[in-house]
Structure 1
Amino acid sequence: MAKVGNIRLWRAGMTVAGLALFAAPAHAGPTLKEEAIVSGDTVTVGDLFDNAEGLEGIALFRAPDPGQTGPLPAAAALAAARRAGVAGPEAGEVRQVFVTRLSREITNSDITGSITARAATEYGVDVDAVEVKLDGAAGPVHVPAAEKGSLEVTRFVTDRQTGRFEASLAVAGAPRRGAEPIRVTGAAVETVEVATLSRSLERGDVVSAADIRADRRPKSQASDAMAPDQVVGLAAKRSIREGQPLRTTDLGRPQQVERNAFVTLIYGASGVSLSLRAKALASGVQGDVIAVQNVQSKRVVNGVVTGPSEVTVTAPTTTVARR
C-alpha cells in the first residue's frame, strides 16, 4: 500500500510541475520595436519600446525631419533608455529601429494656387484671370503633421509689366521655430479670354459658334484680340489658321452683295413695295449704301443693302405744306 501511495504522490507532483510549465510567464521588460512612427520633434521611450511602465513620455532623441525616415542602432536606443532610467531594456533580435516622422505634404499645386490667389488680389482681378508658372518644381515640401492651417504668402514682390515675382510662403498659425519659409520665383501674368478658331477659315467664311473656343492669353499680348461673344456672324477677311486667336483686323461684317452680281431691288413708296432685278455696281455689307442698276430701265439708283443679294430703295416722303 505504501508503494501505491508513493506513486500517487509522484503523479501529483508531476501534475503540479506540469501546471507550472504552462503558467503565465513573468512580466516582460521593455522591448525594442522594429519601427517607430512619430509626429513630434522628439522620439520618446514609448515610441521605441513596448512595456515601458510609465516612462513612455521621456524624450530620447531628436526626430527626423518631417516626412523622413532614419535608422537608429539598437545599441544607441538601449543606452539612451538606460540613461533615462528604463530598467532592463532589451533589443532581442532587433539590430536597428527605423524611425519615420509623419508630415503634411505641400505640393507644387498648393504653392501655385496660393501664389495665384495673392497675384489676383494684387492685380485686382479674378483668380481665373491669372496664370502662374513657377521656375522649376517648388514642391513637394514636408511640414510637421500638426500644421493644419492654410498655406499663406508672407512676401510677394512682382513686376506688373513682366509678371516676374519673388515670394515666400508658410503655413498659417504654425510655430515654425526658425524654420525656413518656402521660397519661390516665377511669373504671374494677367490673362484675358479670347476667341480662337477650332477650324481654319477661308476668306469670306462666316464664323459660327461651333467655329470658336474660348482660350486665355496674356493681356499684354491680346490688346486687339476679340472675345468669343464678339465674333459670331462676322466673316473672315483672309485665310485664318486653326488655333489662331481672332483679332479685330481678321474679321468684318459678312459681304452680302458682290460687285457686278445680280440682286433683288426692292422699291418702296407710299406703302407699296415693288421687287425688280438689278445689277450691283459695288460690293456691300449689311447697312451699306451702294449703287445698283435697273436691268430693264438701265436707271442707276442708290439703295441700302438689307440682306443677302438684296438692296432696298425707299422713296422720300413728300410733305404738303398747310395754308
Structure 2
Amino acid sequence: MHRSVYMLMLTGAAALSLLGLTAAPVQAQDTLVLKAQVTDGDGRITLGDLFDNAGPAADVVVGTRVGPSAVLDAGEVQARARQAGQSWPNPQGLRRIIVSAGADGESATQIRAEAGRTKEVLVFTRALSAGEIVAPTDIAWQPVQAHLTGGSLISDPETAIGKTVRTPVREGGVVRPGDLTAPVVVKRTEMVKVNWQLNGISLSMTGPAQKDGAIGDLILVQNPQSKKLIEAVVTGPGSAAAGDTAQNLRARALYSSR
C-alpha cells in the first residue's frame, strides 16, 4: 500500500515537471507591442511599422496606404501576425489601427511640417493592372508631397519603361522598383533555342521551356532527344544561352540587381 502511494507521488511529480517544461517556452515567448504612434514611409504597411519588437517578421506586409492615412482591421492584423509566427493578444481590445503617412519614427509634428513641401518624382499617369507593360506615356514627373516619397524610388524613366507591373498601381502613385519586374519573353512549354558555348565550342538545340522567364532569368529547357533538362539563361524572345555565355549573363544580371 505504501509502495503504491509512493509510486503515485513519483508519477505526479514527473507529470508536474513535464508540464513545467512544456509551459516554460510559452511563458518566455515575447508578445508584440503596438507602437504609440503608427506611421509608414512608403505606402506599404508592415509588422515593423506597427510593432516595436516585430524582429524577423518586421518586413511582413499587412496592408497598404493610399493618401495621408490608412485604417487596418485589428483582427486581420492579429491573424497576419500569427501567420508570421508572432503573437499580439491585442490587450487594449482595439477594433482598428490608424496608420499615418511619414517616415518610420517621425513625430506627428515633423509629418505636419513636411506636409506642405513637395518633391518632383516619377508617378504613374494612369492605373495599371498586374502584368501590364509600362509605356512611355504611363509615367511622368510630377510634384508629390515630400512625406509620401520615402523609400526607394525610380529616378530614371528608362528603368521603368518596358517593365511589367508586378501588382496593381494607382494613378498618381509614386514609381518604385518593387512595383515593377522584367517582362516575360519566354512562356512555359514554348520552344526555345538554346545556344551553348564552352571552351570555344558552339552548339545549339531547341526544346520546350519548363517555366516562364524574363531576360536574364535562369530557366530549364528539355532536350527533346535525351529528355534531360538543361539550365539556360533567357536572352530574348524564344532564345536562351548555356555554358560560358550563360554564366557571364547570369553574373551580370545578379550584379545589376544589387
**Which of the two has greater strand per residue?**
1
The TM-score, its normalising length taken from structure 1, stands at: 0.37
- The structure, 1 or 2, with the larger RCO (C-alpha pairs under 8 Å, 6+ apart) is 2
Q: Which has the larger radius of gyration?
A: 1
The TM-score, its normalising length taken from structure 2, stands at: 0.45
